[in-house]
């Protein structure tokens, strides 16, 4: 089959979070199963021609944008068995960030990502790619399924094309004022509550949900949760209508990208047979954070966006108690200013015990994953979550809230049977979070049990194998439907 992916992130070209990781591995896994795979991505400023061996593929693709026109070029490169096409437009994508500055989203994200998507369709025509499946990811690609069913409905290039839309995070919806509709080129018929209209706005996410042939999201639990009021972010009704077409497929991680035995970012490598390198990583992390070097103090780690979704309120509430218990905590992330300042104030009070690193740093992230004992993810909601998977790969035990992908990938460690790979709590309450940490530390102090648990983590299989197989099965199912219709 010919499969085209469209997304706003793909590691190592561009990554802001889990979407980048997924795009960095899933297309390759699909290609390895014998399919022709193409990925479309905006050409951001830092995607340097030389570093990625880019060559110019197409020139002068003209796109109507409301009453104006804009022109794109396409660069391409081969990357891990996949052809990557980069949509080049200096004004839209030659900026410092993917979505916005620390002060907020770029105000013209509707234009930027409408343009991206229309170029994807026009470029496929020029390149004579007639995909069996167009696999669109998150709101930045949410209009694509809608274009296929409206403006491109009778385009022979897409005669056989079925669309799949994957929700990586329903909370980011790409909702814009009604005027945006004129930029997209859709008729006003689309501004209707059972189409693109969402509480008076044009919703790119809703477009994907309404118009795609197949909907997937990144864990089975989240697939069920988003059909409820608590997790549906207002779209639960739109999702309920599509219930029969929604599938939950858990994300994997690429074991070669996260490998404690080979990773050069670590001060010492280690494996589940020989964990002495992990102790060295803990020591290095303690030194780096200016903590007291002590192998016996429980060291907690947090890596992620510092936003409400990730449970920052809970984390900040428990820090004083954690400090009283003489534990150590390393936090790495960037996000909302109010959390930055709250964490900075706490760090000033607890030097040598609390390390706050407000930055995006992939090397330091690996040091935290490898050097911590316990990895915290007290998320309010979590579509899949990759942090807990990466932590386990590095022998760090996840302590998570029992939601979304965290619920599907972490199983409670049972002292008696020695089964399970982490700790979970259910209610979004700091007292429950702290209680679970205390329980984890009790287990931590029982070396034999702890080593069993660490091994369980390192033996858990989070490779893409099974999940990629499920995606391909859905592509094939969509293709069979296309042949019948
Ligand atoms: P989300 O996509 O909601 O941000 P995920 O857990 O799915 O969360 O994926 C987050 C990814 O981004 C992980 O690979 C994590 O290591 C990485 N990451 C998040 N914050 C940072 C940071 N400050 N520095 C380096 N990597 C980070």
Comparing C-alpha atoms, which of 70, 86, 66, 73 is closest to residue 14? 86
The candidate with the shortest Cα–Cα distance to 14, out of 66, 67, 51, is 51
Omega within 30 of 0 (cis) for the link into 12: yes
What is the rounded CA–CA span in Å between residue 73 and residue 464? 33
Residue 386 alpha carbon to ligand 1 centre in Å = 7
- Helices and strands, number each (H, E), in the chain: 18, 20
Nearest to 374 by CA among 339, 322, 419: 322
Distance 374 CA to ligand 1 centre (A): 17
DSSP three-state, residue 319: helix
Distance 216 CA to ligand 1 centre (A): 21
Give the residues surrounding ligand 1 with Cβ less than 6 Å away.
17-18, 21, 169, 303-305, 332-334, 360-362, 365, 384-387, 390
Which two structure tokens, joined as six digits, stand for 50? 């030389």
- The tokens describing 469, both together, are 């197989």
pLDDT given for residue 103 in this prediction: 84
Give the pTM. Answer: 0.95
Beta-strand pair 55-65/68-79: antiparallel
> Residue 470 C-alpha to ligand 1 middle, in angstroms?
24
pLDDT at 328: 98
- Give CA 473 to chain center in angstroms: 22
**For ligand 1, mutation pick of 263, 379, 387 (most atoms within 8 Å of CB):** 387
**CB neighbours of 51 closer than 8 A, spacing ≥ 6?**
none
pLDDT of amino acid 479: 83
How far apart CA 210 and CA 246 sit, in angstroms, is 12
CA torsion sign for 197, 200, 202, 204 is negative
pLDDT of res. 332: 98
- Name the residue among 249, 280, 315, 302 with its Cα closest to residue 462: 249
Residue 90, SS3 per DSSP = helix
Q: Which residue has the tokens 């795609």?
A: 212
Measure the N-to-C terminal CA separation of the chain; round to a whole number of Å.
18
17 C-alpha vs ligand 1 centroid, how far in Å? 4
CB of 402 within 8 A of CB of 470?
no
Q: Which residues touch 482 (CB under 8 Å, ≥6 apart)?
A: 132, 160, 161, 162
Give the residue, by CA position, lying nearest to ligand 1 atom 12: 17
138 alpha carbon, distance to own chain's centre: 10
Best residue among 304, 311, 377 to mutate for probing ligand 1, ranked by most atoms within 8 Å of CB: 304
Task: Report CA(307)–ligand 1 centroid distance (Å).
Answer: 12
The predicted-structure confidence for 15-57, as pLDDT tens digits, reads as follows: 999 999 999 999 999 999 999 999 999 999 999 999 999 999 9
Note whether 339 and 307 are within 8 A (CB). yes
DSSP E strands: which ranges in 378-467? 397-401, 423-425
Ligand 1, pocket-test mutation among 166, 255, 365, most atoms within 8 A of CB: 365
In residues, how long is the chain? 485
Query: How far apart, in whole angstroms, are the C-alpha atoms of residue 304 and residue 43?
Result: 25
Q: Check: CB of residue 368 under 8 Å from CB of residue 390.
A: no
What does the alpha-carbon distance between residue 428 and residue 466 come to, in Å, rounded to a whole number? 31
Closest C-alpha to ligand 1, atom 19: 304
Quote the Cα angle for 109-115-118, to 5°.
140
Q: Scan for tokens 């102090």, then name that residue.
A: 445
177, burial (CB in 10 Å: exposed 0-12, middle 13-18, buried 19+): exposed
From 305, 371, 409, mutation site for ligand 1 pocket: most ligand atoms within 8 A of C-beta: 305
Determine the 3-state secondary structure of 422 from DSSP: strand
Map out the domains of the chain with their CATH numbers. 2-252+465-484 (3.40.50.2000), 255-461 (3.40.50.2000)
The two structure tokens encoding residue 110 = 């509707």
Ranges of residues in the chain with a pLDDT under 70 are 482-485
Residue 482 is predicted with a pLDDT of: 67
């Amino acid at each position: 089959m010919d499969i085209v992916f469209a997304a706003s992130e793909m590691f190592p070209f561009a990554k802001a979070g889990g979407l980048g990781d997924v795009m960095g591995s899933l297309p390759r896994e699909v290609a390895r199963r014998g399919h022709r795979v193409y990925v479309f991505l905006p050409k951001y400023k830092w995607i340097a021609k030389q570093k990625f061996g880019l060559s110019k593929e197409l020139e002068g693709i003209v796109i109507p944008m409301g009453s104006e026109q804009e022109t794109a070029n396409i660069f391409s490169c081969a990357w891990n068995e996949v052809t990557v096409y980069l949509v080049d437009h200096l004004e839209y994508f030659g900026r410092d960030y993917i979505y916005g500055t620390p002060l907020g989203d770029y105000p013209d994200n509707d234009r930027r990502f409408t343009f991206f998507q229309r170029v994807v369709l026009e470029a496929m025509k020029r390149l004579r790619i007639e995909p069996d499946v167009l696999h669109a990811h998150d709101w930045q690609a949410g209009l694509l399924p809608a274009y296929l069913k409206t403006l491109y409905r009778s385009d022979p290039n897409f005669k056989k094309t079925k669309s799949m839309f994957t929700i990586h995070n329903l909370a980011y919806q790409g909702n814009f004022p009604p005027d945006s509709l004129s930029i997209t080129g859709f008729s006003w018929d689309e501004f209707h509550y059972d189409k693109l209209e969402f509480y008076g706005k044009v919703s790119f996410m809703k477009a994907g949900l309404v118009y795609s042939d197949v909907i997937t999201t990144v864990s089975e639990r989240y697939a069920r949760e988003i059909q409820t009021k608590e997790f549906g972010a207002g779209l639960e009704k739109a999702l309920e209508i599509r219930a029969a077409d929604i599938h939950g497929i858990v994300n994997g991680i690429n074991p070669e990208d996260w490998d404690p035995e080979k990773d050069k970012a670590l001060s010492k490598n280690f494996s589940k047979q020989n964990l002495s390198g992990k102790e060295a990583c803990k020591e290095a992390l303690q030194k780096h954070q200016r903590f007291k070097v002590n192998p016996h103090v429980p060291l907690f780690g947090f890596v992620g966006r510092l936003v409400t979704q990730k449970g920052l309120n809970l984390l900040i509430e428990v820090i004083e108690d954690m400090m009283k218990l003489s534990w150590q905590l390393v936090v790495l992330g960037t996000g909302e200013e109010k959390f930055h300042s709250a964490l900075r104030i706490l760090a000033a009070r607890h030097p040598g015990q609390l390390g706050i690193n407000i930055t995006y740093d992939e090397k330091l992230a690996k040091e935290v994953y490898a050097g911590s004992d316990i990895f915290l993810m007290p998320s309010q909601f979590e579509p899949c979550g990759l942090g807990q998977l990466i932590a386990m790969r590095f022998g760090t035990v996840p302590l998570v809230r029992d939601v979304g992908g965290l619920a599907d990938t972490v199983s409670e460690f049972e002292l008696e049977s020695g089964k399970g790979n982490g700790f979970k709590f259910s209610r979004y309450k700091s007292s429950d979070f702290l209680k679970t940490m205390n329980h984890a530390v009790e287990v931590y102090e029982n070396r034999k049990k702890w080593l069993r648990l660490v091994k369980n983590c390192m033996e858990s299989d989070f490779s893409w194998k099974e999940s990629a197989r499920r995606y391909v099965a859905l592509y094939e199912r969509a293709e069979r439907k296309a042949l019948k219709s």
